[in-house]
Structures are given as C-alpha cells and as structure tokens.
Structure 1
Amino acid sequence: MSDFSAVMPMLPTHQTLMVQGTTSDAGKSTLVCALGRILADAHIRTAPFKPQNMALNSAVTADGGEIGRAQALQAQACRLAPTTDMNPVLLKPNSDTGAQVIIQGKAVGNLPAQDYHAYKKTAMNAVLDSYQRLQQSYPWVLVEGAGSPAEINLRANDIANMGFAEAVDCPVILIADIDRGGVFAHLLGTLACLSDSERARVVGFVINRFRGDIALLQDGLDWLEEKTGKPVLGVLPYLHGLYLDAEDAVSQQQVEQDKDKVINVVVPVYPRTSNHTDFDALRVHPQVNLILVGPEQTPPPADFVILPGSKNTRADLNWLQTQPGNWPQYLQRHLRYGGKLLGICGGLQMLGESISDPHGLEGPAGSSVGLGYLPLISELKADKTLRLASGELRLPDQPVVVAQGYEIHAGISLSNDDIQDIGCGWLSNDGQIMATYWHGIFDTPQALQQILHWAGLSDSKTVDFNSIREQQIDRLALSVKQNINWQKLNSALQQFRPL
C-alpha cells in the first residue's frame, strides 16, 4: 500500500468524504474513527459527522446536548470535544415501531416510524445546518452513513446516506464486511440498487475484517475493479480483541479471564437496554467475568449484579419480572446470600418503590411498582437531564475519590432519609445495594476499583479504560493507515466529478 506521509501533501486541502456500508456493522463507524485519528495526527483539522443515527448508546456533549456514542468516540479520535452538530438527528427506539427524536441534541418528541418518514424533510434542515457549521470550521469532514444506501423502502426523503451525499455533493467510500461472506455480492448488489448519479459518487471500495493471505483474494479484487470501474482502496485485516465503544448492539465479544482471581458480574440485557458501554471497562478487566444474560436465559450465580439503563424503564422492568429466569426471585436470593447489587439510571429507578410516567414519555401513561429495594420514588418528566458529571464517590470504609460520568435521563427520583448519600448516588443502609444516575462511572479507574472492592474483589487491579480506548483508537488507525492505498484514494478524490 502507498505511504500516507508521501501522499498527504497531495490530498485536497478541504474535503467532505462520506463512508457508507453495504450492511449495518460493515465498519463505517470504525473507518471514520480511524481516518479521523490519521488525519488529526497529520495536523489536518477534521470533524466527524453522522446526519442521522439510530442508537440507544448516547453521549452528553460539552454544549449540553445528546448525540450517538459512536460520534463521541469519533470526536475523540479527531482529538476534539464532541458537539451536537456532529450528530444532528438521533433516534432512540422506545418500541418496535417508534422512537424518541432528538434534533441537534434536544428531544423534540416521540414519533411512530411512519410519522418520522414524513418528518424527515424537517430533520434535513437541521442536518444541513449542522453540516454547514462544521464545514466552515474544519477543512475535512468525515461523514458516516447509516445502515445501507440500498434499503429501497427508505430511499424517499433519505437524509442518512445518498440523500445527504447528493445534497452536499460529496464523494462516497463503500465499505463491506468480508467476515459475513458474500462481500462481492454485497458491493455489486449495493451499486445496482443506486441511481446513476448516486453510483457515480462511489469513488472506491474498502473490504473490512479480512482473515488470511490477501494473495488468495487478489483475483476477486481484480474482478471487482474490472466489473465496476472503481478501485479497491484497501483491505483491512480482522483485528482480534479490538475494544471500542459500540454504536448500538450489545457486544457478545468474550475476553480471557484470570481464573485465579475472578469476580462474577451478571448484567441482564433487556430489550431497550441503553448505554451498555457502561460495562466496557468491566469487559476488559482481567479479574472480572462479565456475564450478559439475554431473553429466555437463566441468570447464573453472581458476586455482583448490575441493572443497566433503559430507554423504556417500565416496559423493561416488566420484561425483567416476567422472564423465565425469574429475576425478582433471583435478586432476592442473591442479596440473601450477601451479593451486591447496583442500578444505573433506569436500573436505579427499577430498584425503587415506584416509577410513574404520567405524560406517556416512554410508552403508555401510567405507573409501575418497582422492585422495592430502595426508598426511591421516580417520575418521568418532559425535560430530560443532560449533563457531564464530576463529584465524589464516598463508599464506607474507603477513601473518597473524585469520579466522572454523565447523566441522560427523563426522570427524577426522590428519597427519604432512610438511605445513604454517597455523592454520586445512594447506598442502602445495609450496604448491599447501590444506585446512581451516572453513566460511565467505571471509566474512572479509582471509582471502578472501589466499586469492585465494595462488591467483593478486595485486591482489584487498576484498569484505566480511557487509556485503553486511546490505545485501541491508535491501534485501529495504524492498521487502516498501513492497509489503505493512499495514492488510489487521493487520485479518486482528485478525479471525483459527480454526474
């Protein structure tokens, strides 16, 4: 592959480049992340941008809004603080047919899928407004598409893929995941579903997650280039053990554990689990055996159980209470034998006495009886709390530490005096149950160490997931830098002439 340092002076000084995928999870997010770090390290000011994202993993920005977690990671890769302009439309599903719509960081309401399609013309105004601000501030803008541009049923009023590319007149890289199989059919089939002008925007292909000897792939690459007249810009290797914030889907990636010193941590995965990236630091911790328990699965014995956040807390509480694994009985037994229990955000609300949603913000209006482990009463409010958080974690018999996190929730929870205030949350008087509204608290190494100590791991090792995240971004960027043909990419960008 061509050397980036040799090609860099020839790259366009100002460029908007979009990455679209043949499927969901083809590698769009990671390619934008890698390119952002490569350009930032070359002192080319670059901003990430995703017109529309659908995800339950979100982040709070410095300007007090909410965007997709993947765009916050991409901003970090570009060595920037995330802003709401980087993801102007965020959809957070609260049912199979509807979602909360967030425009430029603020929730504007819940819409059924059919109504949102009609709303997309309005959403496009926000998309173009945010894009123009980024374009005026940054020489390069790296745009990530959503899903696939070949979804024929979603083509009308598209703002996420080719609809955006056509509106701003930018070139597109098409990426496909060879690990799924059928990579040439994915690429060729996607092109076949595009219009002539859209097809002309595709300046080249990237094949992702390749394993083995690339020489065995060469015949296919030659065929693809001859068939389409478009270059293969790179073949990216499968990176084992790459740990980066997931855009949405719960990662089932397993990590090798230190079997001599292990604490078993069990987390239920409800249908609307939000911000499961809270557990990434646990996933890579060498002494933690993280066990994710999905539908129809029986939870195993644990030292520590965590109830995660939820986008539809009452519905997910009902799911928890009606699963065959009998979670309420499981939690009672867990606590009776001395186990520890933590609720984060929606999990905090579940641990209380009641959850009311009088305005039907997350589903049908009404109230639900909580699990009753903490003296908390929660009510969902129209005004969502969005803030970066910093403060003390005060656990009994441990030094006070300063922790960081962020809050994203529509509810407020009130307690009586029969509970301990530990700074960033509450602790039951018997010391067995903790609750916090703070997402990301495990990313503070000292907070993670102390919470694991409280949960029973007396000699917890220090794990700094922020440093690990930086190392993983650098590892990804190096792989992409070494496996992209920069000469081909530069030529494609210089020759780009839309129809």
Structure 2
Amino acid sequence: MRGVMFQGTASDVGKSLIATAFCRLLVQKGFKPAPFKSQNVSNNSYVTADGKEIGRAQGLQAEACGLEALPVMNPILLKPSGSGQSEVVLMGERQDTISGMAYRDRYYESAIEWIGASLEQLSRIADTIIIEGAGSPVEMNLKQKEVVNMKVAELADVPVILVADIHRGGLFASVVGTLELLEAQERERVKGIIVNKFRGDPALFKEGVQWLEKRTGIPVLAVLPYIDHQLEGEDSLSLAERFSSYEKKDIDIAAIKLPYLSNYSDMEPFLAEKDTAVRWVERAEELGCPDAVVLPGTKSTFHDLRFLKTSGLAERIIQYVEQGGTIAGLCGGYQLLGRTLTDPHGYDSGTANSSAKGLGLIPGDTCFFDKKTTKRLAGRLAEQPEIYLNGYEIHIGQTKLEESSPFIRKEDGGEEGYYARNGRVIGTYMHHLFHNDAWRSEWLNRMRRKKGLPLRQVNRLEQKQKVFDQLAGHLERYLDWKQFLKILRMSERKTGQ
C-alpha cells in the first residue's frame, strides 16, 4: 500500500488541513489519492451519497481528491453526547451509545478489523492513501488500545510525518517530547516533520530547522506560514480559531453556542461574506439586537433546551422574535423552536418518558425514536421555487407540524421544514443549508435591503475549488517535494508496488 500518515504533536495543529492540501497537490501531480482517518471524535459530520455518516474532514478531503466520500474513508465516528457517553457510528451507521472505557473494551478488536478492511478497500480505488491521525500519538494512558495513530501506521505499513504547531508555542519541546515518548519501532516510522502555522518570514526559522534536524535526525519538510482559509474545521478547537477574530460589520448574526453544539460548520459559509459577522452567544445579555439569530444543531436537544432556559436565552430569543427578529433553527435548533419534546425511551435525554416545552415559536412537536435519519436532502424553496437547495439530514427526533407551511418542497414531492412570518421564522432538518449560495445570498439580501445596503452574491462553491488549489499551491511553495516523494516511495518498496 502506497501512502503516508500525518500525526500531530497535539490536537488542532493542522493535520486535517495539511492532509487536505496534500490530497489536492497529489491530484495535481497526477496521483489518484484517497483520504483516510480510522476514527474521528467529533459532532461535525458529513453524510455520504448512500446515506452513511462520516467525519466532516474526510468528506472535505474526498472533495479535494475529486472523489465521492465513502464510509471506508472514516470507518469509526464517535459523537460525544454528554456525561462521558458517545454515540458509536461504524461504517456510517449508528450502533450504540456508551462510555469511552466501555467502547475501548467492547470494540477494540472489531475496530482493528474494520480499519484493516477499509484500508484494503481504499487501496483498490486509489494509488495513494493520505492518512490522518488524531490528537497525539503519545497519549500514554490510551496507547495500549489506540486505533488512531501508530497502530494505524503499523496496519497500513506507511511512514509518518509529524505535524507541529509553532503558533501555540513550545514547538521544540513538543516535537522532541513526542519522539522521545514513542517506542523505538514507532520512532523509526517518523520520516519527516512539518512546522505549521508560522507567522512571519519562514527564513527567520532557518536556525530552528537546523536545530530540529540535528537534534532528531529527521528532515523538516516544510515550514508552513499560517493561512486564513475558508474550509470547514473539524472540532470545537477549530471553532474557536475560525471565529476568534470577530469584528463588527454591517450584518450581525448571532449564533447560539449550545453546550452540545454539532455541525457548527453550517455557519462557516458566512466567513466568505465580507459585510457579515458571526458572533457566538452563550449568555442572554450578549444577544443584543442582531439582524438574525441562528440556532444550530445539537447532539442533545433536551440538555441544550435546559441550557437555553436556565441561561435566560430562551426568554430573550422569544422576545427578540416577537419584536420582529429573524431566526433560523437547523436540525436540533429546529426542534428547540417547537412546542414540545418527548423522549419515551430516553434516546436523547438519557431518561425514559422525558418531556419538555420548547420555545413555542414553531407549531411543531418532536418525538425521539431509536431509528436515526441520515440521508441527503434536496428540493426547492417553497416560497421561491427558482432557488434550489441541497444538504443532508442527521437526526433521531421526528417533528410533526400542526400546519403545512413548508420551507422546502422536496424533489420526491414531499415537504420539509417550516417557514412563517414572511421568512422571519425558519426551521429545517437540512444541514449544509447556508452552503447553498443562492439561498444564503437571498437570506442575507433581505437584511441588506432592510438596512439600505448593497446587495451581494458570493459563489462559495467556486471559491471552495479555488481554495483547494490555493492550499496545494501554498503547500508546494514551502514543501521539499523531492524529500516528500522519497518518503512516499518508502511504502512502495515495502509492498513491492
């Protein structure tokens, strides 16, 4: 198997972005790569064409490769749901909700088999596997049964490139410390180092490169300057970084930062809108009078409803809408906007026969069942059929509306979501909604008209392909390609390819 694995000295050092850049660069160089991550721990997920759920990062990397995303690209997805529990998604399908320790005990041997089988299947459709690790390979309390870093490199029998984030500080200690804590045979797999998120002139780090290479005996393949990209992040750490540089702009969108927030990537298209700012709100006094409020997805609607009520946000949001404000609820946010929640078997709340009153802004009632809905969703805006929408659904609860006032008329003739008060109140199960350029532009232009601002339309779909190419160009500019190719060929010699 020809491939390479990117591991990090810590979480959020940029492994996902670097893997994405390598995917596109290899395509440009005439290779046929495919992405792989054995196990994701994230509530930011992606639905494949066949209705299977995988980590969002691998869906994005598949796009960079020009491939349709497949469950074998991320065979294990763990979605934290509170109280130390995680939903276990295997080969794209929900299996269980258990604690981390129970997962390690119950699924370790099976995980090894799924990972091996997935790698084998990928090797039949791609000539190079770009493998992404998770966190750090030297989490000593987890190493015995880890299935995300060196164990995967061993199963795939590929070399490892270690990624370190210089922006957070402590680079030299993190690199040397990681290598020192690896077993000898593991350390032998590390064939290159990438220094990521450098701010300033990389030439200023020349002595740092020399020190690292002399101290470790491993070549530094690249010192990559920080790049402000427009691609979705993978986890909550990425959320903090992507939206940290808030500045006041003409259009003010308040996104409610729920404790069990999921698929926050639904908000990332707004980063491409130069006149629009997104601020994440956690307290009632922070809400103010925004142009719009977005209630995003949640991994636990019951728990986040409790948060809205105890924080005072529930009352403040209701007041905001009644005074003429605009709100959109996505997936769990849609459920929160309804009248009631019922959970006969405790699938969402954790307690059987739970019930609660929602915000009451939508005449709908949600009941939670064991069967999970994961599927692509497409149709046209009910009020403006010239606007086509596509996205996907990921939810357990089913919402029954008292009246028909659909947001979307689906391709199969059915109706989806809720649309009322001249579009000021919207609820939908569609994730990826604001990634639809025509809809996002229409929604924002309503606010622009109201404020007498110039109308805009940003083609983010075209921008995404340009960003993939820009990332590849950025990587190639600073990468020692010949040395990387030499490392990649090490896996060819091992397998005789």
TM-score w.r.t. the length of structure 2 is 0.91
Residue 197 of structure 2 aligns with an amino acid whose one-letter code is R
Q: Verify the 8 A CA contact 1:53 1:87 in the aligned structure 2.
A: yes
Match of 1:64 in 2: 51
Q: Verify the 8 A CA contact 2:42 2:234 in the aligned structure 1.
A: yes
Q: Verify the 8 A CA contact 1:18 1:170 in the aligned structure 2.
A: yes
Q: Verify the 8 A CA contact 2:284 2:313 in the aligned structure 1.
A: no
Residue 112 of structure 1 aligns with an amino acid whose one-letter code is S
**1:334 Cα deviation from its structure 2 partner:** 1.1
**1:457 Cα deviation from its structure 2 partner:** 4.3
Does residue 407 in structure 1 map to residue 399 in structure 2? Answer: no
Does residue 253 in structure 1 map to residue 258 in structure 2? Answer: no
**1:40 Cα deviation from its structure 2 partner:** 1.0
Residue 417 of structure 2 aligns with an amino acid whose one-letter code is G
Deviation string, structure 1 residues 240-266 (Cα, Å, up to 9, x no partner)? x3121110122443568795xx22211
Deviation string, structure 1 residues 384-410 (Cα, Å, up to 9, x no partner)? 111111101123xx5641111111111
1:129 pairs, out of 117, 123, 147, with 117
Match of 1:44 in 2: 31
Cα root mean square deviation, aligned: 2.0
SS of residue matched to 1:153: coil
Distance 2:35 2:48 in 1: 14
Match of 2:412 in 1: none
Q: 1:494 to 1:400 in 2, by over 3 A?
A: closer
**1:490 Cα deviation from its structure 2 partner:** 2.6
2:134 pairs, out of 141, 146, 156, with 146
Match of 2:216 in 1: 228
Q: 1:422 to 1:226 in 2, by over 3 A?
A: closer
Match of 1:368 in 2: 356
Q: Verify the 8 A CA contact 1:257 1:288 in the aligned structure 2.
A: no
Out of 122-131 and 69-78, give the one that drifted further. 122-131
1:77 pairs, out of 52, 55, 64, with 64
2:185 pairs, out of 179, 197, 207, with 197
Q: Verify the 8 A CA contact 2:407 2:418 in the aligned structure 1.
A: yes
Match of 1:353 in 2: 339
Q: Verify the 8 A CA contact 2:6 2:163 in the aligned structure 1.
A: yes
**1:331 Cα deviation from its structure 2 partner:** 1.4
**1:486 Cα deviation from its structure 2 partner:** 1.4
Distance 2:155 2:35 in 1: 18
Does residue 432 in structure 1 map to residue 432 in structure 2? Answer: no
Match of 2:413 in 1: none
TM-score w.r.t. the length of structure 1 is 0.91
SS of residue matched to 1:290: strand
**1:168 Cα deviation from its structure 2 partner:** 2.4
Match of 2:98 in 1: 111
Distance 1:151 1:185 in 2: 15
Does residue 185 in structure 1 map to residue 173 in structure 2? Answer: yes
1:156 pairs, out of 120, 140, 144, with 144
Q: Verify the 8 A CA contact 1:339 1:455 in the aligned structure 2.
A: no
**1:219 Cα deviation from its structure 2 partner:** 1.8
Distance 2:116 2:369 in 1: 30
Q: Verify the 8 A CA contact 1:176 1:206 in the aligned structure 2.
A: yes
**1:294 Cα deviation from its structure 2 partner:** 3.1
Deviation string, structure 1 residues 87-141 (Cα, Å, up to 9, x no partner)? 0000000014110000000000101111011122222211111111001221100
**1:449 Cα deviation from its structure 2 partner:** 2.0
Does residue 21 in structure 1 map to residue 13 in structure 2? Answer: no
Q: 1:457 to 1:148 in 2, by over 3 A?
A: farther
Out of 215-224 and 179-188, give the one that drifted further. 215-224
Q: Verify the 8 A CA contact 2:382 2:406 in the aligned structure 1.
A: no
SS of residue matched to 1:67: strand
Any residues of structure 2 matched to 1:368-407 within 5 Å, and which?
A: 368-395=356-383, 398=384, 400-407=386-393
Does residue 478 in structure 1 map to residue 466 in structure 2? Answer: no
Q: 1:457 to 1:383 in 2, by over 3 A?
A: farther
Distance 2:449 2:39 in 1: 42
Any residues of structure 2 matched to 1:212-227 within 5 Å, and which?
A: 212-227=200-215
Out of 89-98 and 415-424, give the one that drifted further. 415-424
Match of 1:8 in 2: none
2:464 pairs, out of 457, 469, 479, with 469
Q: Verify the 8 A CA contact 2:202 2:224 in the aligned structure 1.
A: no
Identity %: 36
Count of residues paired in the alignment: 478
Q: 1:122 to 1:297 in 2, by over 3 A?
A: farther
**1:289 Cα deviation from its structure 2 partner:** 2.3
Distance 1:276 1:469 in 2: 18
Does residue 449 in structure 1 map to residue 444 in structure 2? Answer: no
Q: Verify the 8 A CA contact 1:89 1:104 in the aligned structure 2.
A: yes
Q: Verify the 8 A CA contact 1:270 1:295 in the aligned structure 2.
A: no
SS of residue matched to 2:82: coil
**1:451 Cα deviation from its structure 2 partner:** 2.3
Q: 1:123 to 1:357 in 2, by over 3 A?
A: farther
Distance 1:225 1:171 in 2: 17
SS of residue matched to 2:286: coil
Structure 2 unaligned regions, length at least 5: 410-415
Distance 1:175 1:370 in 2: 45
Distance 1:227 1:296 in 2: 52
SS of residue matched to 1:137: coil
